[in-house]
Amino acid sequence: MEIIIKTDYEAACEEAARIILRAWKKRKSLVLGLATGRTPLGLYEKLISLHKKGEMDFSNVIAFSLDEYFGLDETHPQSFARYMDDHLYRHINIRPENIHRLSGRPAEIEEHCRAYERKIRSVGGIDIQVLGIGKNGHIGFNEPGSSLTSRTRLKSLTRETVEANAPLFKEEGEVPRFSLTMGIGTILESRMILLLASGEDKADAVARAAEGPLTAFVPASVLQLHPQAKCILDEEAASRLALKDYYRWTYENKEKFLARLT
């Protein structure tokens, strides 16, 4: 895992956007896997601004949602479909046929999940998967205990996650207990992974994911197995990393070294 520590959230989002822009520039196309939550909001703002400035064209970009609440319609204000439309898709020129989502109300759950995996494969796989991290170390909705080789499937949410989401819903009975999520095995097949984390409340999960043992108990720790996983953090999210000075030194010197080559 490459750990990139930025001074603040804004700079972390800037860095993630820069990596995505650089990858897009190589082929003028890209397959993205996209997460929801508060964390990637700043990144999506940066991507919108790149588009508005004419620096990034999304007409050949294909996007896959990472997960969705089970039981919610696409039009529900808290659905991840609505989130992606509101915070990214309707501000850029992505083609509707290039937007892929997991349905919160699939006619047949297992077939829907298998079809999603087939769709990802049919476009050649995901180039960059954007991830946030739950306080319990989850990625997507792969909660602690998820199989490290899991595929897209129905997943029950932990009490902690349900409680974290509850304030967003009007009534308690409305809060989803289940989700559809790309599996950990699905996520690991992406060519690059960008995990973003911000704030002190994520510091413990980040430290366990990056420096703790590889365990299904901390699903994000599986990123230790990925050859191109970048963890982009602000100072608060990085605060409990034992080797943070080393990560900082490595990153700064890599930048200097690469700058000399270009």
Catalytic residues, by residue number, are 67, 136, 138, 143
Determine the longest span between alpha carbons in the chain, in angstroms. Answer: 58
Which residue lies nearer to ligand GLP by CB, 55 or 163?
163
Binning the chain into helix, strand and coil, the percentages to the nearest 5 are 45, 20, 35
- Residues 198, 133: Cα–Cα separation, whole Å: 9
- Residues 166, 187: Cα–Cα separation, whole Å: 26
Question: Contact between 35 and ligand GLP (CB under 6 A)?
Answer: yes
Give one DSSP letter per residue of 30-87, joined into a string. EEEEE--SSTTHHHHHHHHHHHHTTS---TTEEEEESEEETT--TTSTTSHHHHHHHH
Question: Contact between 134 and ligand GLP (CB under 6 A)?
Answer: yes
Give residue number: closest CB to ligand GLP: 132
Question: Contact between 37 and ligand GLP (CB under 6 A)?
Answer: yes
Count interface residues toward ligand GLP (CB under 6 A).
13
CA nearest neighbour of 160 among 184, 138, 193, 131:
138
Instruction: Tell me whether residue 26 is exposed, middle or buried, using C-beta atoms within 10 angstroms of its C-beta: 0 to 12, 13 to 18, 19 or more.
Output: exposed
Q: Find the shortest distance in angstroms from Cβ 41 to ligand GLP.
A: 8
Which residue lies nearer to ligand GLP by CB, 167 or 227?
167
Question: Contact between 176 and ligand GLP (CB under 6 A)?
Answer: no
Question: Contact between 39 and ligand GLP (CB under 6 A)?
Answer: yes
Single out the segment in contact with ligand GLP by CB under 6 A; choices: 18-26, 35-43, 44-52, 243-251: 35-43
Question: Contact between 38 and ligand GLP (CB under 6 A)?
Answer: yes
From candidates 44, 58, 64, 141, binder to ligand GLP by CB under 6 A? 141
- Residues 179, 155: Cα–Cα separation, whole Å: 5
Question: Contact between 132 and ligand GLP (CB under 6 A)?
Answer: yes
Q: Find the shortest distance in angstroms from Cβ 255 to ligand GLP.
A: 26
**Both tokens assigned to 242:** 């034992």
Question: Contact between 161 and ligand GLP (CB under 6 A)?
Answer: yes
User: By CB under 6 A, what part of segment 206-225 binds ligand GLP?
Assistant: none
User: By CB under 6 A, what part of segment 57-96 binds ligand GLP?
Assistant: 66-67
- Residues 156, 172: Cα–Cα separation, whole Å: 17
Question: Contact between 44 and ligand GLP (CB under 6 A)?
Answer: no
- Residues 114, 134: Cα–Cα separation, whole Å: 25
Q: Would you tell me which residues interact with ligand GLP (CB under 6 A)? A: 35-39, 66-67, 132-134, 140-141, 161
